[in-house]
Structure 1
Amino acid sequence: MAHIREGDSLPVMGYVTSLFVRKMVAAAGPDVDAAALLTQAGLAPDDPWDPKLMVPDMRYYDLLETVADKIDATDLPIRVGASMRCDEYGALGLAWKAAPKLYGSLARVERYARLWTSVVEYELRDDPRGVLFILHRDGPRRLGMRLSNEATLASAVSLARQVCPVPFAPLEVQIRHAAPANTAYHEEYFGCPVRFEAELGALLISPDALAQPNILGDEGISRYLVSHLDRELSEVATEPALMVEAKDAIAQALSEGTPKMADIARSLGYSARSFHRRLSEHGLSFQTLAEDTRRELAEGLLRDERHSLAEIAFLTGFAEQSSFTRAFKRWVGKTPASYRKDRLTP
């Protein structure tokens, strides 16, 4: 019987807020099928925008790469970053506006970004010229991640410009990946030198800019919002462990077919009702979690040539390889064999 070999690890799944996904699709314009892209990401096209609803990071990167196949996406992350508004970030956006100074706004993101994503961490680091606002995101610098990182840096500048009483521009933007063919959009938007192939992904911000009082800064409101965010963060912090445990249990059960929620809940020590409630609090359903686990497991196994397609079909819960092929093509728009060839070709 096929099995995952000792020492193998399951792909680690991260999440980003669906707000970013919907913004990217909306900005891509009429040359893409917006409804199909949102469906590909696991979102219902006609549902209201819900920033607390999460999307797997790999699915987000796949979507961005699909968009880049249809249009010239060079300026897409800049346009999306520029479109972000403080109010769209809920309590975190309000805390950004209410912080007394810009440095305090950035410190809020450094501490509370986990409310919006599990794949990015931020760091404020002193530099001889000011302070670096650093974006940490692990993993290969695939196109989808590169576009996402550029949008993230652009959004931080957009939010800073919304609260700063004087025109704001960083001293320098540092981006880890190679430059696109045309960097004019980046330089015009950021208003400063943009250095690609840098050691960090970061904004270098001057002491004068950091010390600027925010237009709507309010100490009292800021303290209240920070208290609220602390409560939210304490609740979110308990969820990743449950997600990891649930995904592991689902992955191990897939070789016996599609697992049932009651069985997975029982294996984790929950009642079906309690398990369903906890998933709902994280913006997930069991069906979505099982589908995401199956897809992520398949993608990870396809990147390892030791596993045959028939074996991967079995390990991901399909009785026949043809069923696996149809499902995988629905997930990512290509067959398992094509996906493997693309990922393994230097």
Structure 2
Amino acid sequence: MPSVTNAFARAMAQAAGMTLRDDGALIVEGTVAQRLSQPANGRIPDTDYFELLDWIRRRHEDEVALVGAYARQIRVDDIGVLGLAIKTAPTLRASLERIERYWRVVTDTAVYCLDAGANPALLTFEARTEHHPVLEFRNEGALAGLAHNMRRFVRGDLVLDHVSFRHPCRCDPARYAALFGCPVFFEADRNAIALNPAMLNLPNCLGDAAVSDFLTGHLEREIGSLQADVSVRAALLRRITPALSDGVPQAADIARDMGMSERTLYRRLAAEGLTFRDVLTEAQSSLAKDLLRDSDNSIAEIAFLTGFSEQSTFSRAFKRWFGQAPAQFRHKVPMR
């Protein structure tokens, strides 16, 4: 099951003026308001983490302020050896390379991808989990926290070119620009931090190549010991769902992303009694239900976000899946 370091959950609770205890109890004004699974090896299930974020943000009157409070609360020191390796890397480029390679030691729900050759250089944040209504808020917090910490550990004046998000803006864009200290664009083609390539050469305040290399050796061993999800279905869902807004992904592309041939993917799915079409349908139908229940998107927009080029085709598929039209489903099921 995908999981997240408990440090992220604890920081969000603290940002909202709450306390998350080691036993998973969320304390609000002296009483237990929620109870999460007790962390195992410092991590909690992604479902617990997302439900916690959703519960907190729904009770907070100002989401942008909450994102900012989280950015100030979370520190690279909170993520153990990876945080130390990031801080002691000699340059910002080396720090971002460590984030890209070793992020899996803190969560397998998302990855960072660095394109240092682009102009501006891009650090893209990509989901690797099934859809959840709180992912837009999670993505804002992730990039805000990273941007804030980059300014902490880099020596010199770090200037961001811009920040972008795939989702629509839910507030005054100027507030996001003030939060990130740069222009922020919404409804873009990626969630990313963009910066002038020259910024990548800025030295880190605590840069020490020998120490950082020692720590990355530890990270190599740790990442090598992580057990891959034995369920091909789960791994496929984590890749297909976030890709649907760009159209239905091809099995060959997904297999390549998973490090196997298309034939091997089919064989492993068959061993679980599934086909690629089965998992694709599960991803589309699950995402469609979530968006109809939890978003204000029109049915035409939801059709596009679930990989359909026409609303009529989506509506027929939805009725085949659930026995009712999308509009009927939305009318009967209240938003969470």
Q: Secondary structure at the match of 2:115?
A: strand
Q: Is this contact kept in 1: 2:109–2:129, CA < 8 A?
A: no
Note the C-alpha offset of 1:184. Answer: 3.6
Pair 1:341 & 2:333 matched: yes
Pair 1:25 & 2:17 matched: no
1:133-212 to 2 correspondences below 5 Å? 133-138=123-128, 142-212=132-202
Q: Is this contact kept in 2: 1:25–1:38, CA < 8 A?
A: no
Note the C-alpha offset of 1:26. Answer: 1.5
Alignment-derived partner of residue 53 in structure 1 = 42
1:75 to 65, 73, 76: 65
Over 3 Å counting, the alpha-carbon distance change for 1:226 and 1:197 in structure 2 is same
Note the C-alpha offset of 1:114. Answer: 0.4
What is the number of equivalent residue pairs in this alignment?
236
* 5+ residue gaps, structure 2: 20-25, 235-285, 291-329
* 5+ residue gaps, structure 1: 1-12, 44-49, 248-299, 305-337
Note the C-alpha offset of 1:30. Answer: 6.2
Q: Please give the per-residue CA displacement for 1:41-77, whole angstroms capped at 9, x wherever unaligned.
A: 324xxxxxx7942222222222222222222223212
Matches of 1:38 and 1:158, distance apart in 2:
29
Sequence identity, in percent? 30
Q: Is this contact kept in 2: 1:74–1:182, CA < 8 A?
A: no
Matches of 2:222 and 2:34, distance apart in 1:
27
RMSD value, Cα:
3.2
Q: Please give the per-residue CA displacement for 1:247-304, whole angstroms capped at 9, x wherever unaligned.
A: 9xxxxxxxxxxxxxxxxxxxxxxxxxxxxxxxxxxxxxxxxxxxxxxxxxxxx7xx69
Matches of 1:138 and 1:231, distance apart in 2:
22
Runs of 4+ in 1 over 4 A off after TM superposition: 30-33, 138-142
Q: Which amino acid aligns with 1:18?
A: N
1:245-324 to 2 correspondences below 5 Å? none
Matches of 2:166 and 2:186, distance apart in 1:
6
Over 3 Å counting, the alpha-carbon distance change for 1:112 and 1:138 in structure 2 is closer
Q: Is this contact kept in 2: 1:75–1:186, CA < 8 A?
A: no
Matches of 2:78 and 2:118, distance apart in 1:
34
TM-score (norm 1): 0.61
Alignment-derived partner of residue 2 in structure 2 = 14
Q: Is this contact kept in 2: 1:15–1:57, CA < 8 A?
A: yes
Matches of 2:111 and 2:129, distance apart in 1:
13
Matches of 1:174 and 1:93, distance apart in 2:
24
TM-score (norm 2): 0.63
Q: Is this contact kept in 2: 1:98–1:222, CA < 8 A?
A: yes
Over 3 Å counting, the alpha-carbon distance change for 1:30 and 1:83 in structure 2 is closer
Alignment-derived partner of residue 106 in structure 1 = 96
Q: Is this contact kept in 1: 2:116–2:197, CA < 8 A?
A: no
Structure of higher RCO (CA pairs closer than 8 Å, 6+ residues apart): 1
Matches of 1:147 and 1:52, distance apart in 2:
26
Matches of 2:228 and 2:198, distance apart in 1:
39
Alignment-derived partner of residue 303 in structure 2 = none
Matches of 2:118 and 2:219, distance apart in 1:
32
Over 3 Å counting, the alpha-carbon distance change for 1:234 and 1:38 in structure 2 is farther
Note the C-alpha offset of 1:157. Answer: 0.9
Pair 1:218 & 2:208 matched: yes
Note the C-alpha offset of 1:83. Answer: 2.0
Over 3 Å counting, the alpha-carbon distance change for 1:97 and 1:119 in structure 2 is same
Matches of 1:105 and 1:60, distance apart in 2:
26
Matches of 1:166 and 1:103, distance apart in 2:
14
Note the C-alpha offset of 1:122. Answer: 1.0
Over 3 Å counting, the alpha-carbon distance change for 1:128 and 1:109 in structure 2 is closer
Q: Is this contact kept in 1: 2:160–2:193, CA < 8 A?
A: yes
Alignment-derived partner of residue 89 in structure 1 = 79
Pair 1:118 & 2:108 matched: yes
Q: Secondary structure at the match of 2:160?
A: coil
Matches of 1:91 and 1:111, distance apart in 2:
13
Q: Which amino acid aligns with 1:59?
A: D
Pair 1:240 & 2:229 matched: yes
Over 3 Å counting, the alpha-carbon distance change for 1:167 and 1:83 in structure 2 is farther
Matches of 1:126 and 1:141, distance apart in 2:
29
Matches of 2:71 and 2:145, distance apart in 1:
4
Note the C-alpha offset of 1:145. Answer: 1.0
Q: Please give the per-residue CA displacement for 1:304-343, whole angstroms capped at 9, x wherever unaligned.
A: 9xxxxxxxxxxxxxxxxxxxxxxxxxxxxxxxxx9x9247
